[in-house]
Amino acid sequence: MFLSTSEHGVDAKNRVSVPAGYREAVRNDPCEGIYVFPHFDGPYLEGGGEHFVQQYRLDIARLPRYDQLRKDLEEAVLGGIRRLDFDSTGRVTLPREFIEHAGIDGRCAFVGCDGHFQIWNAQTQADRLGDIRARLSRRLQDPAEAARLGGGADLQTLMGNSETLSALLKGEKL
Amino acid sequence: MFLSTSEHGVDAKNRVSVPAGYREAVRNDPCEGIYVFPHFDGPYLEGGGEHFVQQYRLDIARLPRYDQLRKDLEEAVLGGIRRLDFDSTGRVTLPREFIEHAGIDGRCAFVGCDGHFQIWNAQTQADRLGDIRARLSRRLQDPAEAARLGGGADLQTLMGNSETLSALLKGEKL
DNA sequence: TTGTTTCCCATAAATACCCATGCTATCCCA
DNA sequence: TGGGATAGCATGGGTATTTATGGGAAACAA
């Protein structure tokens, strides 16, 4: 999966090398490339492999057909997604509107988030990181917030407490 | 499937290039073209390939024979659909009434929504996108709304990502 | 005719493809 | 342990191909 952050240059043709580890993560996908869209939540792009798109399609398909949230997601997410194919050296070309949305000028940062990744203007991302760390530090001092993060139960405990997991372990289907 | 948004010019003969990726998506259909109709939900057209039409036929066929909803859908959807064939360079000619319905003047935007796509007046679509993003961003800050969209990772996802968990769920011991 | 549609060709811009270079971390052997 | 060889990665730039789009000739309908 997608892990770690790395910074890359974006050349005059809007090409950028996708981190080798990310390419490795999508090696078994049917197509040689990544799916990316301008995120609605801020000046950054979100992307991933086949599985990443499937997850959005699934989430959207679960909503009622004429639900406003569904229609919005279809247009903003599915309508925004573009498949970016790797060239022979593992680069992709960013569409101009993506570059504008993320305010990328020369350098960008890939931030791995397990099942997906983000692409930021390199400087913006670097600045954000400090704020994010400070916020986390502050928030997790609140026991209630800390508890949301797993509450201290490890897998063993979960297995003992969860009927679903127990069922699974007995070979039943979800 | 149909993904991504792209803007194209509509010339004096009402011709417009269908995005290459969309043509690719219907390559295996029996006919060289797309099916389009003026949507009842707003000033835009909706279209797709063979599969798109079949889906509507199925949905409608499932309704009782003399149901008003069925009759309306038959007339508005099935009656509105036209097959637009590609010319040798991948363009289609939009019927006059389609152009009027969508208020297209010079430029239009194709918005891919997975199984189908929409065609908007380019400016209208650009303006809407800003609103949609803002609405989504706002809505998904509400934990209740966010939860509708899948919430935390489900077990299947976790299983796909973690060898340890997969092993666990298959009954192996830690 | 006159207006409309279909087919064909021309061109410009955007995109994909190819090969070359420099950097760095790693390995191997003295 | 040091230093050169090596492999993988990031990056630069030239060329070919595809795509979008404009316009004209031929076929068709009113």
pLDDT tens, residue by residue, B129-149: 999 999 999 999 988 888 888
Would the CB atoms of B111 and A79 count as touching at under 8 Å? yes
Closest CB to B145: pick one of A69, A79, A115: A69
Neighbours of A35 (CB within 10 A): 24
Task: Give, as ranges, the nucleotides of chain C with any atom within 7 Å of a protein CB.
Answer: 5-10, 15-20
Q: Which residues contact B36 (CB under 8 A, 6 or more apart)?
A: B45, B46, B47, B81, B82, B84, B92, B94, B98, B119
Please give, rounded to a whole number of angstroms, the shortest distance from the CA of B146 to a CA of chain A. 10
Query: Nearest-CA neighbor of B102 among B2, B10, B4?
Result: B10
**Domain assignments of chain B as residue spans, ordered by start:** 5-133, 140-169
Output the pLDDT for position B152: 53
CATH 3.40.1550.20 fits domain B5-133: yes
Class of domain A5-134: alpha beta
Separation of alpha carbons A132 and A118, rounded Å:
15
Three-state DSSP string of chain A = CECCEEEEECCCCCEEECCHHHHHHCCCCCCCEEEEEECCCCCCEEEECHHHHHHHHHHHHCCCCCCHHHHHHHHHHHCCCEEEECCCCCEEECCHHHHHHHCCECEEEEEEEECEEEEEEHHHHHHHHHHHHHHHHHHCCCHHHHHHCCCCCCHHHHHHHCHHHHHHHCCCCC
Q: What is the CA radius of gyration of chain A?
A: 19
Pick from A67-71, A140-144, B47-51, B112-116: least confident: A140-144
Percent of chain B with pLDDT over 70: 86
Output the pLDDT for position B131: 97
| Phi, psi dihedral angles at A37 (to 5 degrees) | -145, 155
The two tokens of residue A112 are: 């791995």
Instruction: Report whether pLDDT(B157) > 60.
Output: no
The Å distance, CA of A118 to C1' of D21, is 35
The Å distance, CA of A166 to C1' of D18, is 55
Instruction: Report whether pLDDT(B123) > 80.
Output: yes
| Phi, psi dihedral angles at B114 (to 5 degrees) | 75, -90
Bridge partners (DSSP) listed for residue B130 = none
Which residues, given as ranges, of chain A have pLDDT below 50? 173-174
The two tokens of residue A174 are: 């979800």
Whether the beta carbon of A93 falls within 7 A of nucleic chain C: the reply is yes
Q: Read off the pLDDT band of B31 (50, 70, 90).
A: confident
Instruction: Report whether pLDDT(B30) > 50.
Output: yes
Query: Nearest-CA neighbor of A146 among A137, A155, A154?
Result: A137
Whether the beta carbon of A112 falls within 7 A of nucleic chain D: the reply is no
> Which residues in chain A have their CB less than 8 angstroms from residue B140's CB?
41
Query: Nearest-CA neighbor of A23 among A14, A33, A31?
Result: A33
> Which residues in chain B have their CB less than 8 angstroms from residue A81's CB?
3-4, 112
| Phi, psi dihedral angles at A3 (to 5 degrees) | -135, 160
> Which residues in chain A have their CB less than 8 angstroms from residue B137's CB?
40-42
Q: If interface means Cβ-Cβ distance under 8 Å, which residues of chain B face chain A?
A: 3-5, 21, 41, 111-114, 118, 128-129, 132-137, 139-140, 145, 148-150, 153, 155-157, 160-161, 165, 168-169, 171, 174
CA neighbours within 13 Å on the CB side: how many for A31? Answer: 14
Please give, rounded to a whole number of angstroms, the shortest distance from the CA of A29 to a CA of chain B. 14
Place of tokens 């599915």: A78
Separation of alpha carbons B125 and B162, rounded Å:
41
Closest CB to B5: pick one of A42, A55, A79: A79
| Phi, psi dihedral angles at B75 (to 5 degrees) | -75, -45
In the complex, which nucleotide's C1' lies nearest to the CA atom of residue B7? D20
Instruction: Report whether pLDDT(B161) > 50.
Output: no
Could you say which DSSP state residue B141 is in? Answer: T
Separation of alpha carbons B156 and B75, rounded Å:
42
Output the pLDDT for position A86: 96
Kindly report the CA angle at A99 between A97 and A102, in degrees rounded to 5? 105
Measured CA distances, B83 to B36, B49, B103 (Å): 6, 9, 20
The residue in chain A having the minimum alpha-carbon distance to the alpha carbon of residue B145 is A69
The Å distance, CA of B11 to C1' of D21, is 8
Mean pLDDT of chain B: 88
Would the CB atoms of A69 and B149 count as touching at under 8 Å? yes
pLDDT tens, residue by residue, A123-132: 999 999 999 9
The H-or-E segment that residue B163 falls in is: helix B163-169
Output the pLDDT for position A153: 55
> Which residues in chain A have their CB less than 8 angstroms from residue B112's CB?
78-79, 81
Please give, rounded to a whole number of angstroms, the shortest distance from the CA of B5 to a CA of chain A. 5
Query: Nearest-CA neighbor of B29 among B54, B6, B4?
Result: B54
Would the CB atoms of B150 and A72 count as touching at under 8 Å? no
